[in-house]
A and B are shown apart, each in its own frame.
Chain A
C-alpha cells in the first residue's frame, strides 16, 4: 500500500479540517453557545410582540429590522463565539497529549494550523448562517416584509471577519501559553479592558484617533443626511472599530458616497450643543476598519503560527 499513499495534499488537508470540525461541533461549550444565541435571538424577536400585546398597541412594521440588526451578534457575542470555537484548538491538543499522534502524521504543522483555521471559519460560518436565516425569517414574521435581504451574506462575512480578530487573539495566547484557560481568561481580560477603556478614552480625549486602531467598538460617528435612530442622535450611528465591519459594509452599500461626522461625546451626553470634531467619507471608515481587522488577524495568527511551528512536544 505504501507506494500508493500520500499522493494528495488535498486529502491530507481536508483530513485535518474534518478532524477539527468534528471537534468543534461536538464541544459542549460550542453547542451551549449556539443554544444561548438562539434563545437570545428568539427573545429579541418575541419580546416586542409580547410587550405590544400587553400594552394593547400593535407592533409597528419595520422593513429595515433584519438588515439593521443582522443576527444580533454584538461585540460580546463575537468574543464568546471566538473563545468557544478556538480556545482549545491548539492549546487543548497540548494539554490532552493528542498533539503527539497528530504531529507524527505526514501533515506539516503549517497544514495543521491552516486546517484548524479553516475549520473555525466553517464552524462560525455555519453557526452564523443559521442564526442569520433564523433572524431573517423571524424578523419577516414579526416586522413584515424586509428590505435589502440580499445584503445579508455581506453582513455574515463582515461578522465573521470581526470575529476572526478575537479568534486570532485567542489562538495567539493559547498557542504561546499552551493553556486553554489562559487563552480564554487572557482574551476575556483584553475584551473587558477594551470595553471599559474605549468609552472612557472617547469621553476624555474627544474620540482620540487611537480608538480607530484597537479591537472592539472604536469611535462613534453619524452618517450625514440620514434619519436618526433615536431622538438624541443626528443620524444613523456608525462605529469605526473592528467589531463593526458588518454594519459598516451594509451602510456603505446603502449610502455609498455619504460622509460620517464625529462629535464631542461629552457634548452629546449633556444634551447641549453638538461640537463637531471631524468628518470623513464612510468608505474611509469601512476600509480602515477592514484593514485594521486584517492587520490584527495577520499579526496574531503569525504569532500563533510561529509559536506552533517552533513548539517542542514535551507532553
Chain B
C-alpha cells in the first residue's frame, strides 16, 4: 500500500484552541479520498499543513513520501492544490494567471500552450480567458482554481471544498471532473462537508470532528462498520429454493434468509446491485413483486459519529 499522504499525531493549535489534535491520516495512491467534517472540524487547517502554508505544532507529516517542512518546491511540483474559495490576483487575466503559474512550475512555452487551452476548455472558461480575474464570478474563480490545480498534471490533487459556491450544474460538473482526474491515475484528496458528494465520488473517507479523526477507511467499510452491510429485500410471487440458491451464488451476496415469500439478502458491497439480483431471480424462474435496497447512508453514519460521546468514537477507530 503506497501512501501519498501520511500524518502521524498531527497537532495544530491557534493559541488555546486545538484545531487539529493528534491526527493520523493515511491516503493511499490512486484513490479518491474524502475528508469529511462539519465546519470548524479542522479540515482546512490539516490541508494547509499538508501544503506547507501552516507549521504543525506536533506530529509528522509526509506528502509523496517526503516529510513536510519549509517550502519544498520539489514536492509542490508534483502536487496540485485548490484552496477553499480560491482568491487570485485581480490584476491578472485568466490566461495570464495560468501562464504565470505554469512558468512557476517550470513549464516550457509549448507545454503551457498545450495545457492551458485544454484546461480552460475542461473547466468551461473558454472565451473568458482574456477577462481580468477580478471580473470573474465566484463559480468561475472556483473553476479557475481547479484548472490551476491541474496545470502541472500532478500526481496528487488536493481540493479544499471544491463545490463550495457552485450552482447545482457546476457541482455535478466538478464531480465528473474529479472522477476524470482519478481515472487518469491521480490521487485526489478532497475535503467537503457535502456528504452526498463524497458518497458519490470517493473510494475512501476520513471523518474528522473537533480536530480528531473519528474513522478512516474505504467508503464501504465506513458505512458497514457502523451499520452492518447493505441489504436488499425482495418479495417474490412464490417462494422457490432454486431462486434462493441462484441468488446465494452471486459474488456480492454475503448471506440470504427466507421468510415465506420474502428474501432478505445481505450484501458485501454497498453498490446498487438490484439489477443483477433481479436478473438472476428471473433467470431462476422467480417473479419479483417488489424489491428495496436498505443501507445506511454516509449522512446517517456521519451524524451517528459526530453526535456520539468522544470516548465511544475513539473505540471505533
> Which chain A residues have a beta carbon within 8 Å of chain B's beta carbons?
1-2, 4-9, 11-12, 14-16, 18-19, 22-23, 26-27, 93, 96-98, 100-101, 103-110, 312-314
Contacts and interface: CB of A to CB of B under 8 A. Distances in A.
**Most B-side CB within 10 Å, residue of A9, A18, A19, A106:** A106
A5 B115 CA distance: 12
Nearest to B115: A1
Interface of B: 14, 48, 51-55, 70-71, 73-74, 76-79, 81, 83, 86-92, 96, 100-108, 111, 115, 145, 148, 152-155
Question: Interface majority SS on A: helix, strand, loop or mixed?
Answer: helix
Given A97-B83, A101-B88, A108-B71, 13 more contacts: A1-B115, A1-B153, A2-B77, A5-B106, A6-B106, A11-B107, A22-B92, A100-B83, A105-B105, A106-B77, A108-B73, A312-B54, A314-B14
Contacts, number: 115
A105 B106 CA distance: 10
Contacts of A101: 81, 83, 86-88, 101, 145, 148
9 contacts: A4-B108, A5-B77, A6-B73, A11-B107, A14-B103, A19-B89, A101-B86, A104-B53, A106-B77
A150 to B, nearest CB: 37
A228 B73 CA distance: 59
Contacts of A98: 87-89
A23 B91 contact: yes
Contacts of B81: 101, 104
Given A1-B115, A104-B81, A18 B103 contact: yes
A3 B314 CA distance: 42
Contacts of B78: 2
Nearest to A19: B100
Contact of B74 (A106, A312, A313): A106
Nearest to B12: A312
Contacts of B52: 103-104
Contacts of B152: 1-2, 5-6
B112 to A, nearest CB: 10
B54 A12 contact: no
Contacts of A96: 87, 89-90
Nearest to B80: A104
B1 to A, nearest CB: 22
Nearest to B133: A98
A101 B97 CA distance: 11
Nearest to A115: B104
Given A1-B153, A312-B54, A314-B54, A105 B87 contact: no
B44 to A, nearest CB: 10
Given A23-B89, A98-B87, A313-B48, A6 B74 contact: yes
B20 to A, nearest CB: 13
A16 to B, nearest CB: 7
A2 B156 CA distance: 12
A286 B77 CA distance: 47
Contacts of B73: 6, 12, 106-108
Given A101-B101, A101-B148, A104-B51, A5 B83 contact: no
A22 B134 CA distance: 14
A100 B76 CA distance: 13
Contacts of B55: 312
B272 to A, nearest CB: 36
A48 B77 CA distance: 60
A104 B100 contact: no
For the complex of A and B, the 5 pairs showing the least CB-CB separation, nearest first, are: A15-B103, A97-B87, A313-B53, A106-B73, A6-B106
B86 A11 contact: no
A7 B100 contact: no
Contacts of A26: 91
**Most B-side CB within 10 Å, residue of A16, A27, A107, A108:** A107
Contact of B100 (A1, A18, A103): A18
Contacts of A105: 76, 101, 104-105
A57 B251 CA distance: 108
B219 to A, nearest CB: 27
